[in-house]
Amino acid sequence: MSENPKKLNLKQRYKLLTRGLDWETTYQPMDKVFPFDTFEGIKIHDWDGWEDPFRLTMDAYWKYQAEKERKLYAVIDSFAQNNGHMGITDARYVNAIKILLTGVTSLEYAAHRGFSHVGRHLRGVGPRVACQMQAIDELRHAQTQIHTLSHYNRYFDGFHDWRHMYDRVWYLSVPKSFFDDAMTAGPFEFVTAISFSFEYVLTNLLFVPFMSGAAYNGDMATVTFGFSAQSDEARHMTLGLEVIKFMLEQDEANVPIVQRWIDKWFWRGYRLLSLVAMMMDYMLPKRVMSWAEAWEMYYEDAGAALFEDLERYGLRPPKYADIATKEKNRLSHEVWSIFYNYTHAAAFHTWSPEDNELDWLSEKYPDTFDKMYRPRFDYWREQAAAGNRFYNQALPQLCTTCQIPMGFTEPDDPTKICFRESVFKHERYHFCSDGCKDIFDWEPEKYVQSWLPVHEIFKGNCGGTDLKDVLKWYHLNDGVDNMDYEGSPDQRLWAEWTANRSKAAE
Amino acid sequence: MTYQLTVEPLGETIEISEEQTLLDALLRSGIAIPYACGHGLCSTCKVDLLEGEVDLGDPSLFALMDFERADGKILACCATALSDLVIEADVDEDEDAVVHPISDLEGEVMELTDLTHDIKGMWIKLPGNGLKFQAGQYVNLAMPGVSGPRAFSLANPPSQPNLLEFQIKRVPEGAGTEIIHNRLKVGDRLSLSGPFGRFFVRKSAKLPMIFLAGGSGLSSCKAMVLDLLEADETEDITLFHGVRAQCDLYDHDLFRDLAESHDHFTYMAALSELNDNDQWAGATGFVSDVAAQHFANGFTGHKAYVCGPPAMIEASIRVLMKGRLFEKDIYTEKFVTLADGEAALARSPLFRRI
């Protein structure tokens, strides 16, 4: 054998390149150098039992990513030069990417920070390298997303101060608190939350709607960004699977801990995706598929295959997945209604769906839409036409866990708002669902610290006592970024463009 | 139309049909390459095309970039074969794999015996040097008048290259097994090609071995166990054979005698649905549960080889994993028939081989 050395395969080469980069510390005990990777109770007996989910070296990484960026920036440039924003289906579409920029871009950046942190704090060199690689990917995604979407900031409102808004605006506390919850957990919970539950189990429900939505509505720059990011996404999904297998195989005692995290982060992720459900069903002038259809395809079918495989380890499907399935025919309507109520405090517009859009919803939701939601939208539309566009002037009660206004309904009664509560140290806390209540009850000390936007307004921590003060504190341009799409500067601009275009065509 | 697909660094050749993606052909042959999305967006299944021509399919321009296309990279989940192919993939080489070239042979049926009411024993004599293979592998038999070959595991050890033994269960409405059970006669000639498969003993691991056989899945386990006993391996060997009732049991005396004469070999038959008139003092229950009782302290530190129908394999994998034995130490050979349908192959990417 030794006389005829064989070419090393990729796995062996990668192992030689990445292992042995660490060492046993001697000036300080290892437990002090890596203080965070044991307190969660996850037992690791053999860090080398880690199978590298992707075998990419930095020089190859730069080469590939540079090529991807060349492609993407060429498309962004040509999109700008050809006034690509004029080619979208309708300016209402732009509100979907306002949510993408304010809500998701900041999550990409948070993921970069989270993986850098975890990459520092896992003592095994294999997972550490994998997390560091993902941290760089996430930074790239944040940057390319900002550059892609910045084109829209030249013409449309609501894009100007997304970083600032992420830390302050009431509904952006939903994605922010989701990620902050993960980042303030231990390193193993973080990777379970983000790499497994979010990037693997739920990723298609986030990604496909935004990217197909962009494609259907003529936004080629965002589509191209999507493909560019998705070519990295597989690495992230594979990391999610590997990390779960690694924990489950290292020690039997890890199984119940992982199960609890999967329960928690499935529900946290699902609640976050309710914003996507609204976007899919209401904000795309040209629809891709309904939320219910997406849920069936990406969760009920693909998820079933995954959880059947995970059963081999003694895990069961996430708790309350059945509730999410029960909610699939009402989720988007309930969330859109919440935002319709509070558009005067949001950095994007809402509107009354047009007749053909209401018909589409009736068709996609035959059992629920005509019965429960269409009459409400018809009424609001009549009122708006009569000059009484409804804006809810009372501040909503928020769920302490997911921070979404308490507008979700009972699992078995879609006409009744679902209220749950827990008492901790003589204080009462409120929740939108059993899923959110369970999460609180497990770690009340953590969630009593939640920065709940409505509470903070009442405490006087948000710039003042009336809405105008709060909007100013949000850096939101009152009368421009907010309110109904009907009559907004976005709408006037779009009407002007399309009028010019039809004039030019004459 | 089918082509030959050779996979480096394994040196192994498999068959691929025109409309089949490379990924599909590889996974069905038990060659685990990394993959994730399955439709050209993620590039996890990127491989090098060394020889031959493919239709690239329609991968995303970011998942397979122009310079990679020019370098001969392809995505296995999208590409289909336009000729015989040689690819290099990120696949784990197995130091216990022995590459035997695939040959096309013709043999003569020497003997046909009913092993049970629905399993036929068939011996085929080969001329010349016979067939070189690793115990546990299978061959494709061409059935006269039936389109497409049928795969059957070899039950004879490699030390017996000229007399191939098969144990073939009758599949209801299965055209291939119907011929073997009802029409084939001693003296008939059959064409076969092989050897195929990655089901073989990892001798280099030097770990005690557990064999779990369900029904006619005993065939490949028989070849492996006989091969090990001939080679004087000293690691402990435990063979569990699971069948329904006493009338389904075969080769029982053979293994009982071998267990008597070899201290390191243990044999247990497990009957799951005894008939009323069965006189059975041995183990009862599903073979996987019987194995779990026998290894009450778990399976850690063993290598397990599982062969049988899909439901039996799945039950065994669960029992083994519950006993803390995981994918890297579990090897399976799934006997998939028409009756099992596509569902038998539907899985998530969580596991690569099992």
Report if residue B95 sits inside a domain: no
d(C-alpha A108, C-alpha B221), whole Å: 51
* Mean pLDDT, residues A213-240: 89
**Which residues make beta-bridge pairs with A417?**
A409
d(C-alpha A344, C-alpha A349), whole Å: 8
- Cβ <8 Å between A237 and B36: yes
d(C-alpha B198, C-alpha B157), whole Å: 16
User: Do residues A230 and A137 make contact, with C-beta atoms less than 8 angstroms apart?
Assistant: no
Identify the domain boundary among B161, B196, B231. B196
Q: What is the pLDDT of residues A366-376, one digit of tens each?
A: 999 999 999 99
Nearest residue of A to residue B90, measured between CA atoms: A10
- Structural domains of chain A, count: 1
Q: Please give the pLDDT value at position B29.
A: 80
- A228 vs B62, B91, B93: nearest CB: B62
Report if residue B354 sits inside a domain: no
- Cβ <8 Å between A241 and B350: yes
Estimate to the nearest angstrom the gap between the alpha carbon of A234 and the chain centroid.
17
Report if residue B138 sits inside a domain: yes
Q: Please give the pLDDT value at position B92.
A: 76
Band (B341; pLDDT cuts 50, 70, 90): low
Residue B2 to residues A92, B51, B81, B85, Cα–Cα distance (Å): 52, 16, 9, 11
d(C-alpha B335, C-alpha B233), whole Å: 27
d(C-alpha A304, C-alpha A307), whole Å: 5
Quick one: what percent of chain A has pLDDT higher than 70?
Answer: 98
- Cβ <8 Å between A231 and B318: no
Q: What is the pLDDT of residues A311-328, one digit of tens each?
A: 999 999 999 999 999 999
Residues in chain A within 8 Å Cβ distance of B322: 314
- Helix, strand, coil shares of chain B, percent, nearest 5, are 25, 30, 45
pTM here? 0.90
Minimum distance, in Å, between the CA of residue B253 and any CA atom of chain A: 34
User: Do residues B202 and B303 make contact, with C-beta atoms less than 8 angstroms apart?
Assistant: yes
Report if residue A2 sits inside a domain: no
Residues in chain B within 8 Å Cβ distance of A310: 350
Average pLDDT, chain A: 93
d(C-alpha B99, C-alpha B97), whole Å: 6
- Cβ <8 Å between A230 and B41: yes
DSSP structural state of residue A74:
H
Residues in chain B within 8 Å Cβ distance of A309: 347-348, 350-351
Minimum distance, in Å, between the CA of residue A222 and any CA atom of chain B: 14
pLDDT higher than 90, residue B98: no
d(C-alpha B224, C-alpha B307), whole Å: 11
Q: Count of A–B CB contacts within 8 Å?
A: 82
Give yes or no: residues B220 and B290 share one domain.
Answer: yes
Report if residue A224 sits inside a domain: yes
pLDDT higher than 90, residue A199: no
Nearest residue of B to residue A201, measured between CA atoms: B348
DSSP structural state of residue B267:
E
Query: Residues with Cβ < 8 Å from A164, sequence gap 6 or more?
Result: A474, A475
pLDDT higher than 90, residue A50: no
Nearest residue of A to residue B62, measured between CA atoms: A228
Q: Quick one: B318 exposed, middle or buried, by C-beta within 10 A (0-12, 13-18, 19+)?
A: middle
Q: What is the CATH number of the domain that holds B318?
A: 3.40.50.80
- Structural domains of chain B, count: 3
Written as six digits, the tokens of B19 are: 């409309």
User: Do residues A39 and B33 make contact, with C-beta atoms less than 8 angstroms apart?
Assistant: no
Higher pLDDT, A24 or B242: B242
Minimum distance, in Å, between the CA of residue B248 and any CA atom of chain A: 29
* Mean pLDDT, residues B233-251: 95
User: Do residues B60 and B82 make contact, with C-beta atoms less than 8 angstroms apart?
Assistant: no
Q: Are strands B163-169 and B119-125 parallel, antiparallel or unpaired?
A: antiparallel
Residue B87 to residues B38, B67, B90, B162, B279, Cα–Cα distance (Å): 18, 18, 10, 33, 55
Domain that holds residue A324: 10-44+52-505
> Which residue's entry shows tokens 């050809």?
A82
Residues in chain A within 8 Å Cβ distance of B327: 245
Mutate one of A9, A243, A298 to test the B interface: name it (highest B CB count within 10 A): A9
**Which residues make beta-bridge pairs with B54?**
B81
Minimum distance, in Å, between the CA of residue A212 and any CA atom of chain B: 13
d(C-alpha B79, C-alpha B61), whole Å: 14
Q: Please give the pLDDT value at position A1.
A: 40
Written as six digits, the tokens of B27 are: 């996974």
Higher pLDDT, B340 or B71: B71
Minimum distance, in Å, between the CA of residue B35 and any CA atom of chain A: 9
Report if residue B16 sits inside a domain: yes
Quick one: what percent of chain A has pLDDT higher than 90?
Answer: 80
Q: Please give the pLDDT value at position A482.
A: 96
Q: Which amino acid is at A153?
A: N
* Mean pLDDT, residues B319-340: 85
- B44 vs A238, A309, A311: nearest CB: A238
Give yes or no: residues B64 and B125 share one domain.
Answer: no
* Mean pLDDT, residues A113-117: 97
Report if residue A3 sits inside a domain: no
Give yes or no: residues B172 and B225 share one domain.
Answer: no
Half-sphere exposure of B330 (CA within 13 A, CB side): 27
Minimum distance, in Å, between the CA of residue A228 and any CA atom of chain B: 6
b/e code B39-75 from CB counts within 10 Å (16+ = b): ebbbbbbbbebeebebeebebbebbbbeebeeeebbb
Band (B344; pLDDT cuts 50, 70, 90): very low
Give yes or no: residues B22 and B42 share one domain.
Answer: yes
- B9 vs A7, A67, A302: nearest CB: A7
Report if residue B31 sits inside a domain: yes
* Mean pLDDT, residues A468-475: 97
pLDDT higher than 70, residue B345: no
| Helix-helix angle A254-272:A434-442, to 10 degrees | 130
Q: What is the CATH number of the domain that holds A72?
A: 1.10.620.20
- Cβ <8 Å between A234 and B321: no
Which of A284, A293, A291, A288 lies closest to A335, judged by CA? Answer: A291
Estimate to the nearest angstrom the gap between the alpha carbon of A346 and the chain centroid.
18
- Cβ <8 Å between B90 and A10: yes
* Mean pLDDT, residues A342-348: 97
Listed range (A167-176, A390-399, B87-96, B230-239) with the worst mean pLDDT: B87-96
Report if residue A5 sits inside a domain: no
Identify the domain boundary among B165, B196, B227. B196
Residues in chain A within 8 Å Cβ distance of B92: 9, 11
User: Do residues A396 and A407 make contact, with C-beta atoms less than 8 angstroms apart?
Assistant: yes
Q: Please give the pLDDT value at position A337.
A: 97
Give yes or no: residues B302 and B226 share one domain.
Answer: yes
Written as six digits, the tokens of B136 are: 């546990």
- Answer whether A71 touches B (CB < 8 Å): yes
Residues in chain B within 8 Å Cβ distance of A305: 346-348
Q: Please give the pLDDT value at position B124.
A: 97
Give yes or no: residues B183 and B224 share one domain.
Answer: no
Q: Which of residues 285-314 of A touch B (CB under 8 A)?
A: 302, 305-306, 308-314
Give yes or no: residues B118 and B44 share one domain.
Answer: no
Nearest residue of B to residue A68, measured between CA atoms: B62
Angle at A329 between CA A326 and CA A335, to 5 degrees: 105
d(C-alpha B212, C-alpha A244), whole Å: 27
Query: Residues with Cβ < 8 Å from A392, sequence gap 6 or more?
Result: A341, A342
d(C-alpha B346, C-alpha B354), whole Å: 12
Average pLDDT, chain B: 90
User: Do residues A47 and A124 make contact, with C-beta atoms less than 8 angstroms apart?
Assistant: yes
- Cβ <8 Å between B41 and A228: no
Give yes or no: residues B84 and B119 share one domain.
Answer: no
Give yes or no: residues B209 and B339 share one domain.
Answer: yes
Listed range (A208-217, A450-459, A496-505) with the worst mean pLDDT: A496-505
SS3 label, residue B139: strand
d(C-alpha B271, C-alpha B279), whole Å: 11
Quick one: what percent of chain B has pLDDT higher than 70?
Answer: 97
Q: Please give the pLDDT value at position B170.
A: 92
Report if residue A431 sits inside a domain: yes
Report if residue A1 sits inside a domain: no
The DSSP annotation for A187-199 comes to HHHHHIIIIIIII
- Cβ <8 Å between B42 and A313: no
B87 φ/ψ angles, rounded to the nearest 5 degrees:
-125, 160
Query: Residues with Cβ < 8 Å from A376, sequence gap 6 or more?
Result: A337
- Cβ <8 Å between A238 and B36: yes
Which of B152, B122, B121 lies closest to B139, judged by CA? Answer: B152
Domain that holds residue B177: 103-196
pLDDT higher than 60, residue B343: no
- Cβ <8 Å between A68 and B62: yes
Q: What is the pLDDT of residues B269-282, one digit of tens each?
A: 999 999 888 889 99
Minimum distance, in Å, between the CA of residue B189 and any CA atom of chain A: 42
- Count Cβ atoms below 10 Å from residue A394 Cβ, excluding itself: 8
Mutate one of B8, B93, B350, B352 to test the A interface: name it (highest A CB count within 10 A): B350
Report if residue B351 sits inside a domain: no
Which of A171, A199, A193 lies closest to A180, judged by CA? Answer: A193
- Count Cβ atoms below 10 Å from residue B297 Cβ, excluding itself: 8
Nearest residue of A to residue B315, measured between CA atoms: A312
Higher pLDDT, A362 or A232: A362
b/e code A57-67 from CB counts within 10 Å (16+ = b): eeeeeeebbee
Minimum distance, in Å, between the CA of residue B185 and any CA atom of chain A: 44
Q: What is the CATH number of the domain that holds B124?
A: 2.40.30.10
Alpha-helical runs (H) found in A173-219: 173-183, 187-191, 203-216
Query: Residues with Cβ < 8 Å from B186, sequence gap 6 or more?
Result: B109, B110, B111, B112
B343 φ/ψ angles, rounded to the nearest 5 degrees:
-60, -25
Band (B338; pLDDT cuts 50, 70, 90): low
A68 φ/ψ angles, rounded to the nearest 5 degrees:
-60, -40
Written as six digits, the tokens of B68 are: 């990679």
pLDDT higher than 60, residue B96: yes
- Cβ <8 Å between B9 and A245: no
Interface ipTM > 0.85: no
- Cβ <8 Å between A237 and B326: no
Largest CA distance in chain A: 90
Q: What is the pLDDT of residues B116-167, one digit of tens each?
A: 999 999 999 999 999 999 999 999 898 888 877 888 999 999 999 999 999 9
Minimum distance, in Å, between the CA of residue A303 and any CA atom of chain B: 9
SS3 label, residue A382: helix
Give yes or no: residues B107 and B169 share one domain.
Answer: yes
Nearest residue of A to residue B324, measured between CA atoms: A249
d(C-alpha B51, C-alpha B43), whole Å: 20
- A231 vs B9, B60, B93: nearest CB: B60
Q: Which amino acid is at B9?
A: P
Q: What is the CATH number of the domain that holds B31?
A: 3.10.20.30
Identify the domain boundary among B179, B196, B213. B196
* Mean pLDDT, residues A291-302: 92
d(C-alpha B88, C-alpha B86), whole Å: 7
Give yes or no: residues B115 and B221 share one domain.
Answer: no
Listed range (A55-64, A324-333, A343-352) with the worst mean pLDDT: A55-64
SS3 label, residue B106: strand
Mutate one of A312, A313, A315, A316 to test the B interface: name it (highest B CB count within 10 A): A312
Give yes or no: residues B78 and B111 share one domain.
Answer: no
Q: Which of residues 309-338 of A touch B (CB under 8 A)?
A: 309-314
Report if residue A71 sits inside a domain: yes
Residue B244 to residues A215, A443, B269, B295, B312, Cα–Cα distance (Å): 56, 50, 10, 22, 12
Q: What is the pLDDT of residues A404-423, one digit of tens each?
A: 999 999 999 999 999 999 99
Listed as own residue / partner, the contacts of A3-9 with beta carbons closer than 8 Å and 24 or more positions apart are: A6/B9, A7/B9, A9/B9, A9/B90, A9/B91, A9/B92, A9/B93
